Amino acid sequence: MNQIKHYFPLKSMWDEHQAYEELLYWDSLIQQGHRLLPHDFDRYEDLRYWYDCLCYEEELRQYHDYIAAIEEIEDTQHYQEAAAPKVHMGPYDRHVMAKHSEVYPSPEELEAVQTIISHVESALKTVSDQMDTPKEVKENCVLRGVMRVGLVAKGLLLKGDTDLELVLLCSDKPTVTLLEQVAEKLSEQLEVGQSSYS
């Protein structure tokens, strides 16, 4: 490899731009495969060390600026929270809340509705099992399932609502005879269920 003599004059002090240009110059020579003379290599090492220190100082400055900015944001938020007026309910807010408590079912009512629906669904499942013979496959079941509809399905019940709607799905078009059979068996199952829960 060729040895390259120093290109820039040695200085005890240099400006950043010239030092950076000189560092790029030495880097390009090394990347091209040239071998530096000992005193040039020492110069290159000095410049490399200077550049590393410069980068470190810049990163440190940016880090301190970042921490200072975060602390300023936190201080501003803390001041705004402390200075913000306490949220209080106005007359309209209280009126809305009062109306809501008037129309919305109590937890006890909601639990009672859920219990009733669960009992009816369970009883209909038993009725379906009773009406099907063991040999029948699931696709040929008389009763196919039950669905919650209306206010029950949407969760829009109001206080005092007692009309809870369920839809019973049948494999064939329902008849009056089928309706009577289901109603009779359902009543029996609900009575059995009521006696077992009491």
List, as one string, the DSSP characters of 29-84.
HHHTT-EE-HHHHHHHHHHHHHHHHHHHHHHHHHHHHHHHHHHHHHHHHHHHHHHS
Query: Residue 34 has what pLDDT?
Result: 85
Q: What residues have CB less than 8 Å from 163, skipping those under 6 apart?
A: 150, 151
Lowest mean pLDDT among 108-112, 138-142, 161-165, 184-188: 138-142
CB crowding 66-97: b at 16 or more within 10 Å, else e = eeeeeeeeeeeeeeeeeeeeeeeeeeeeeeee
Query: Residue 161 has what pLDDT?
Result: 80
CATH code for the domain defined by 105-197: 3.30.460.10
The answer, yes or no, to whether residue 135 has pLDDT greater than 70, is: no
Mean pLDDT of all residues in 147-162:
81
Mean pLDDT of all residues in 104-118:
85
Under DSSP, is residue 144 helix (H, G, I), strand (E, B) or coil?
strand
Mean pLDDT of all residues in 157-172:
84
Query: Residue 106 has what pLDDT?
Result: 82
Mean pLDDT of all residues in 167-196:
86
The answer to whether residues 23 and 41 touch, using CB atoms and an 8 Å cutoff, is no
DSSP bridge pairs for 143:
170
- C-alpha to C-alpha distance for 86 and 14, rounded to whole angstroms: 60
Q: How confident is the model at residue 81 (pLDDT cuts 50, 70, 90)?
A: low
Q: Which of 120, 123, 146, 144 is nearest to 132 (CA)?
A: 144
Greater confidence (138 vs 43) lies with 43
Q: How confident is the model at residue 134 (pLDDT cuts 50, 70, 90)?
A: low
- The single-letter DSSP state of residue 9 is P
What are the tokens at 156? 């829009």
The answer, yes or no, to whether residue 6 has pLDDT greater than 70, is: no
Query: Residue 8 has what pLDDT?
Result: 47
The answer, yes or no, to whether residue 188 has pLDDT greater than 70, is: yes
Q: How confident is the model at residue 139 (pLDDT cuts 50, 70, 90)?
A: low
- C-alpha to C-alpha distance for 74 and 11, rounded to whole angstroms: 47
Lowest mean pLDDT among 12-21, 63-72, 111-120: 12-21
Phi-psi region of 83 (alpha: psi -120 to 50; beta: other; left: phi over 0): alpha
Residue found by looking up tokens 């490399």 in the block = 48
The answer to whether residues 108 and 132 touch, using CB atoms and an 8 Å cutoff, is no
Report domain extents, the chain. Answer: 3-82, 105-197
Mean pLDDT for the chain overall: 78
State how far Cα 154 lies from the chain centre. Answer: 24
